C-alpha cells in the first residue's frame, strides 16, 4: 500500500522532505506540491527529481496553480504543511489545514504558528472527521518528543518538563562561555554559520522557545497554554561577566524552558546550572527532560533544526499515519 501526500512549502524543510521521499523506498507518493508562486498536481504521483530541479531555477510548478488549489483539488491522504510560520494568526497555513481536514485528510506539519495557537480547535475538527493532526517537527527538530509523549510513555502522568528548545541561543551561550566572546560577537558568529537568522529576535528573546513550550504544554496537559501566559526572558542582555561568574562555580548559563503545571509555572529564562547537568551540552543541540510518575525522569537529546533532521520528524509522522490507516 502507498500513502499519498501533498506538500505545501518548498523551503529548506519542504525540499528536505521531498528529497528523502524520493531517495528512500517508504511507500509514499507525492500527488501535489506548491510554493508561494506556483503549484503542481498529478494524481499518479509527481516526478520529484523534476520538481526539485525546476525549484532550483525558479518556481516549482505551474504559476496558475496556487497552494489553495493543491489543497482543494489534489488527491492526497495527508497534507504535509511546511510553509513559513506566522506566529501572529497562523495564516495562511491554518486555513489550508482546516480545508484539508474538511476533505477528510490527515495533517502533518512543522508549522509552529497554527499549532501553538489552534491545536485544540484543529484536534476537534480532526476528531469529527476521523483524521489525525501530527506535528512532531514543531518542537525539538529530529527529537521524537511527540511520539515519546503519545506512545513511548503512554500510561504515565507528566508532572513537569524542562528543556533547551532553541539551538541558536545554546550556540551563542556555548561560545560566550568557551571563548569569552561578547553576546554581539557570538551572535555574529552564529549568523555567519547560518545558525541565526538575519533578524534573530524570535530566537534570542526566547519567543521561539516559548512557542515550543506552549505546544508541549497543550499536548501534554491540554491546559490552554498560550504565548502571552509564558514568563519570558531572552539572552540578549547577558554579559560575558555573568557567564564568567557562573563558570567560576563550575556552572554555566543556558536558556531553559520549563513547565510545572501544578504551580502554574510556564517560563523561558537564562538559568545558572551545573556543568554536569544533562541539559548542558555544546552547540545547537536541543534537549527535553520529562518528569513522570512511573518512568521517573526521561531526557531526550538531539538536533533541534536542519533540513534533513526536520524531514526525519515529518516522515516519522507520515509513516505513523500510514500504519494507522493501514490497520483500519
Q: Comparing C-alpha atoms, which of 288, 256, 286 is closest to residue 270? A: 256
Nearer to its own copies, 38 or 284 (CB): 284
Cell numbers at 3, concatenated: 500513502
The answer to whether 33 and 57 are in contact (CB under 8 A) is no
Binding mask 16-55 for its own copies (x = CB under 8 A): ----x---x-x-----------------------------
Count the Cβ atoms, other than its own, within 10 Å of residue 193. Answer: 10
CB closer to its own copies, 30 vs 315: 315
Minimum CB–partner distance for residue 216 and its own copies (Å): 15
d(CA 238, CA 219) in angstroms, rounded, equals 31
Touching its own copies, residues 243-282 (CB under 8 A): 275-276, 278, 280-282
Q: By C-beta, is 21 or 65 nearer to its own copies? A: 21
Stretch that binds its own copies, among 37-45, 62-70, 118-126, 312-320 (CB under 8 A): 312-320
Stretch that binds its own copies, among 102-110, 122-130, 182-190, 298-306 (CB under 8 A): 298-306
Dmax over Cα atoms in the chain, in whole Å?
Answer: 63
Residue with Cβ nearer its own copies (10 or 318)? 318
Residues labelled catalytic: 212
User: Residue 282's closest CA among 179, 192, 209?
Assistant: 179
Residue 328 contacts its own copies per CB under 8 A: yes
Residues 304/284, Cβ–Cβ less than 8 Å: yes
Residue 44 grid coordinates: 499518479
> Residue 315: which of 8, 12, 26 has the closest Cα?
26
Considering the complex, what minimum distance in angstroms separates the CB of residue 99 from its own copies? 26
At CB < 8 A and 24+ separation, what contacts does 115-119 make? 115/215, 116/87, 116/90, 116/211, 116/212, 116/214, 116/215, 116/218, 116/226, 116/227, 117/89, 117/90, 117/226, 118/90, 118/94, 119/215, 119/218, 119/219
CB of 311 to its own copies, least distance (A): 6
Nearest Cα neighbor of 227 from 146, 113, 125 is: 113
Among 59, 73, 99, 300, binds its own copies (CB under 8 A): 300
Find the part of the chain contacting its own copies (CB under 8 A) among 54-62, 83-91, 198-206, 316-324: 316-324
Position 316 contacts its own copies (CB under 8 A): yes
Task: Kindly report the number of other CB atoms within 10 A of residue 137's CB atom.
Answer: 28
Does residue 100 contact residue 73 with C-beta atoms inside 8 Å? Answer: no
How many residues bind its own copies, per CB under 8 A?
Answer: 45
**How far apart are CB 78 and its own copies at their closest, in Å?**
14
Least distance CB 291 / its own copies (angstroms)? 11
Identity of the residue, 152 or 261, whose beta carbon is nearer to its own copies in the bound complex:
152
Place of cell 525546476: 54
To its own copies, the closest distance from the beta carbon of 321 in angstroms equals: 11
Residue given cell 513537569 in the structure block: 160
Task: Please identify, among the stretches 82-90, 165-173, 211-219, 313-321, the one whose residues bind its own copies according to the rule CB under 8 A.
Answer: 313-321
Residues 200 and 190: their CA atoms lie apart, in Å, by 10
Q: Which of residues 116-175 bind its own copies (CB under 8 A)?
A: 142-144, 147-148, 151-156
Cα gap 198→200, rounded to integer Å: 6
Which positions touch its own copies (CB under 8 A)? 20, 24, 26, 142-144, 147-148, 151-156, 275-276, 278, 280-282, 292, 294-303, 306, 308-309, 311-313, 315-316, 318-320, 324, 327-328
Amino acid at each position: 500500500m502507498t500513502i499519498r501526500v501533498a506538500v505545501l512549502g518548498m523551503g529548506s524543510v519542504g525540499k528536505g522532505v521531498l528529497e528523502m521521499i524520493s531517495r528512500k523506498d517508504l511507500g509514499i507518493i507525492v500527488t501535489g506540491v506548491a510554493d508561494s508562486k506556483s503549484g503542481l498536481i498529478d494524481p499518479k504521483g509527481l516526478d520529484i527529481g523534476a520538481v526539485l530541479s525546476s525549484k532550483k531555477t525558479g518556481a516549482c510548478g505551474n504559476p496558475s496553480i496556487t497552494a489553495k488549489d493543491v489543497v482543494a483539488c489534489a488527491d492526497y491522504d495527508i497534507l504535509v504543511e511546511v510553509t513559513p510560520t506566522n506566529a501572529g494568526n497562523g495564516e495562511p497555513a491554518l486555513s489550508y489545514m482546516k480545508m484539508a481536514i474538511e476533505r477528510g485528510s490527515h495533517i502533518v506539519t512543522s508549522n509552529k504558528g497554527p499549532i501553538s495557537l489552534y491545536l485544540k480547535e484543529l484536534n476537534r475538527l480532526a476528531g469529527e472527521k476521523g483524521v489525525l493532526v501530527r506535528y512532531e517537527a514543531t518542537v525539538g527538530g529530529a527529537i521524537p518528543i511527540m511520539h515519546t509523549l503519545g506512545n513511548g510513555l503512554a500510561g504515565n502522568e507528566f508532572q513537569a518538563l524542562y528543556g533547551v528548545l532553541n539551538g541558536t541561543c545554546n550556540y551563542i551561550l556555548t561560545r560566550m562561555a568557551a571563548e569569552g566572546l561578547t553576546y554581539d560577537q557570538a551572535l555574529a558568529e552564529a549568523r555567519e554559520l547560518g545558525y541565526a537568522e538575519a533578524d534573530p529576535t524570535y530566537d534570542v528573546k526566547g519567543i521561539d522557545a516559548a512557542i515550543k513550550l506552549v505546544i508541549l504544554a497543550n499536548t501534554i496537559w491540554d491546559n490552554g497554554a498560550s504565548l502571552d501566559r509564558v514568563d519570558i526572558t531572552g539572552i540578549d542582555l547577558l554579559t560575558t561577566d555573568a557567564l564568567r561568574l557562573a563558570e567560576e562555580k563550575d556552572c554555566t548559563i543556558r536558556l531553559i524552558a520549563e513547565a510545572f503545571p501544578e504551580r502554574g509555572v510556564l517560563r523561558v529564562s537564562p538559568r545558572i546550572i551545573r556543568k554536569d547537568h544533562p541539559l548542558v551540552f555544546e552547540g545547537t543541540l536541543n534537549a527535553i527532560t520529562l518528569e513522570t510518575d512511573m518512568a521517573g525522569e526521561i531526557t531526550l537529546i538531539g538536533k533541534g533544526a536542519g533540513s534533513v533532521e526536520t524531514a526525519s520528524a515529518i516522515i516519522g509522522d507520515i509513516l505513523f499515519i500510514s500504519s494507522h490507516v493501514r490497520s483500519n
